[in-house]
Structure 1
Amino acid sequence: MNISTLQSNLDFIKSLFFHEEWKDEKCRDTILEAIEECNEKIEKAFGQSMHYLYKHESSVEAVEKVVKKFPSTLSYVDEDYECIPIQTAAGGDGYEYVPVLAKLGMKHKVGGGDARGGLLMIDPYDNREWNALQWLVTENGDLKKLNVLKELRRSGLLLKEDIREYNLLHYSCYDSIIWYLIAWDPDALIETRIGDKPLIHYTANEKYLQLAYHSLHLFLKAGFKYHPEIGGLLFVKDDSGIIVIDKICKEIGETKTMEILHDILSATRDYPILHHVFIKAPKHKDLFAEKFPWAYHLKDHNGRTLHQALLAEGPEVMKDHRMLFASLTDNQIQTKDPVTTLYPFATMAVGEHVDLDKCLYLLRRQPSVLERRSRTENNRRRNKRKIYADSHGTQI
């Protein structure tokens, strides 16, 4: 029997009973049971078919029509994998249907009001307890999958906080998706935690490093791009106070670590890596100075040279760089810090760790800075008096 014949029969039955031409109630009940059974089979067929959208490639409009007629198909559980259509689509080749399934799922409250149309429902077949959103970014993809995420974002179905809450940077397998998520939430590079470890520490774990080597390179590169003022991710600490650079050097050795960083930083040679290493990881200063000699003469984001950045950190930091302190030139001693406007001698005399010996040493080297300071102060006072006199119509 084809569909047109079935439709003709249904129209005939409807007309016959509607006009009460056929009086046999038992016959009517039997026919209604058959129609109900047929309807259940039709609904089941569509429910099963929703798990194979990637095969028959029906249009989005067709999916909407089926769901409008049979909303339960959105929640039809596959007998083999015990998941619903949106989970099947997210974890397989039907990911392009995820947005429409999620939108329709929101309308029909698939998984409950907090499941976001089924996107956040846990896959019962997966012992890692991933949801459809995690499956979506985990499976290998292409620009089409990236566009799916963008559509979910535009629809309010993918939220910024999802990146951290569901560890999407960790699970993502496609570079364009990772860069897209990082650009949306750069702080996720630092704030995301896998278990009890920051993302970058977990990625540098020896157990997973061979698999995550590419991710480590990508995350470090992104760190320098989005968090340059703190030295990228190299100095992010775990709960034990261990910084990333120490972790990586321990896991893969200094040689491979330097190869990764050289590949990232030496292309442009414009990042003041030595400023950060000399201050935050002085035990690695020789290693970095040898690998990145071009960074010695760069200025940081505050406009400070390397020696100015170290002096600004105070006497305690300078203890780790005695040679650099001893090699200060007369010109460097006579140059003010671009941020604090203090001469080097003054930076040794302020803050929590005052070092008067270093302060006096610098003054003996260049006592003229006091004369300059005095002249500057006198000029400032003279200008201030002149402004006051001009505003009040008096003479100095």
Structure 2
Amino acid sequence: MELISVVLENKKKVPKQTRNKIDKLVEKFLQDLEDDIHEMLCCNNDDPDDYCGLDSSRDTVAEVETAIRLFPDVLSRNSQRNFYDNDDPVERVVYYLHPIQCLSSNLLRISLMTCSFIPVLARLAIEFGTFERHLRGGLLNQNFKWVTVLEDLVYGMGGGSQEHKKLADNTCLELMKELKESGLLVKEDILRYELLRKSFVQDYSHFAKFRFLVEWDLAALMQPNHHKHVILHFAATSIQAFRVVFEAGIRYFPKKKGISILFSKDEDDDTPFQDACNNHGREKVVKIIEDTLTYYHSDTPLNIADTLLSAAVDDDIHLDCVYFLLRRQPDVLQKMLSAKAETAKATATADGDEDNNSKVIRKRKRKS
């Protein structure tokens, strides 16, 4: 390094040919270094013998930030990728990704090595104005499958053993928390990009991301999409996901919505309860529902009467909800009628007392 410094300091003192050579070497050095940094950010080769990318167990966020600040243009440079369709392995599709997309685009172990650097790339891209403002530093850039980097994180990394999947899920959860703290993940994203549904798409029993998002936006648990699907419709494909999502509904909406959401109709009039029974059998589904209701009933009594009335008049709730509640608590109608009669009697008594009081007052006025 001392020798290089001496050469550069004495550049004007050497012959013209040497000066020109120094200029070319410096230019080549800078270009090669920029290319190498770009390749490092974009490498997602899953061959360990041919991997030349970032490694979170070796590289630090500060080191990556320093490299990018030297060559900020690498954030906007595309990297070419080839995609082969499973149905036609010969047909090749060429697509291009930015570095921030490459850090999350591989669904195997490489993503765990690189995805932790996503926040720093997004932050620097915003600082340098690399992308349009609404793209949030590239987090909302879409790949060839119209999936954003943010959605990639919520989907999870997939692949490998159950232990690997859980590790990937926890890693993504920590990144989501970091993005939330920095304002790069906002509450409105949960509904806009259907993040609740995407948080449990992987077929394994770990729902940390789902719980994190639900606690942030409880309303998203009950909000239907443009096809009138609620989250429980999607969860019906997995018995474990169905259990977790239904438990969340009962936990946060125990009075009425938590039960009625089981029978929320989509645009084809199908309900989560019907879908779950078709996929897993009625007996197994009913057991999950009963176990959940029994568990949460000890903390918050379920309002069966109000739920029954709501289901009976709501066109978006299937009548199966009414039948389900009546079978579960056959005397609910009798109790409702008794309560109504008691209310009417109390009202009549109150009206009688009021009339008697009025008579007494009128007598006193006449005497006066």
User: For 2:176, which of 149, 167, 173 is the aligned residue?
Assistant: 149
Distance 1:185 1:12, change over 3 A: same
Q: Which residue of 1 aligns with 2:8?
A: 14
SS at match of 1:266: helix
Percent identity reads 23
RMSD, aligned CA: 3.4
Q: Deviations over 1:143-172 (max 9, x none)?
A: 443222111111110011111111111111
1:76 shift after superposition:
4.3
Matches within 5 A, 1:1-396: 4=1, 8-9=3-4, 11-17=5-11, 20-24=12-16, 26-51=17-42, 52-54=53-55, 57-80=58-81, 82-91=96-105, 92-93=111-112, 94-124=114-144, 127=145, 129-139=146-156, 140=165, 141-173=168-200, 174-193=206-225, 196-200=227-231, 202-203=233-234, 209=237, 212-232=238-258, 233-249=261-277, 252-270=280-298, 271-272=301-302, 274-275=304-305, 278-279=308-309, 280=311, 283=320, 287-288=324-325, 292=328, 306-307=332-333, 328=338, 332=339, 334-336=341-343, 343=344, 372-378=349-355
Distance 2:319 2:117 in 1: 52
Give the greater-gyration-radius structure (CA): 1
Q: Is the 8 A contact 2:141 2:149 kept in 1?
A: yes
Distance 1:117 1:371 in 2: 68
Distance 1:278 1:254, change over 3 A: farther
Distance 1:333 1:113 in 2: 59
1:42 shift after superposition:
0.8
1:243 shift after superposition:
4.5
Amino acid in structure 2 at the alignment position of 1:45:
D
Q: Deviations over 1:182-222 (max 9, x none)?
A: 111112123252x62413364166xxx2xx33222222222
1:122 shift after superposition:
0.9
Q: Is the 8 A contact 2:233 2:272 kept in 1?
A: no
* Larger relative contact order (Cα-Cα within 8 Å, sequence gap ≥ 6): 2
Equivalenced residues, count:
310
Unaligned ranges ≥5, structure 2: 43-52, 83-95, 106-110, 157-164, 201-205, 312-317
Unaligned ranges ≥5, structure 1: 298-305, 312-324, 337-342, 344-367, 390-394
Distance 1:382 1:58 in 2: 90
| Most deviating of 163-172 and 235-244 | 235-244
Amino acid in structure 1 at the alignment position of 2:188:
E
Distance 1:45 1:100 in 2: 19
Amino acid in structure 1 at the alignment position of 2:227:
D
Distance 2:79 2:347 in 1: 82
